Homo-oligomer: A and B are copies of this chain.
Amino acid sequence: MYYYDPKNRESKELAPGINAKTFWGEKMLTAVVDLDPNVHLPRHSHPHEQLGIVIEGEIEFDIAGEVKKLKPGQVYVIPGGVEHEARTFDQPVRVLDVFSPVREEYKY
Interface residues of A (CB under 8 A from B): 2-7, 23-28, 30, 32, 49, 51, 53, 55, 61, 63-64, 66, 68, 70, 73-80, 82, 96, 98, 100-101
* B75–A6 touching, CB < 8 Å: yes
The smallest C-beta distance from A52 to any residue of chain B, in angstroms, reads 9
Chain B residues positioned under 8 Å from A2 (CB to CB): 61, 63-64, 66, 68, 76-78, 82
User: A79 to chain B: which residues have CB within 8 Å?
Assistant: 25-26
Residues of A contacting B: mostly: strand
Contact of A5 among B7, B74, B96 (CB under 8 A): B74
A sample of 23 cross-chain residue pairs with beta-carbon separation below 8 angstroms, ordered by A number, consists of A2-B61, A2-B68, A2-B76, A2-B77, A3-B66, A3-B68, A3-B75, A3-B76, A4-B74, A5-B75, A7-B73, A23-B51, A23-B75, A25-B49, A26-B79, A27-B49, A27-B100, A27-B101, A28-B98, A30-B51, A32-B75, A55-B55, A100-B100
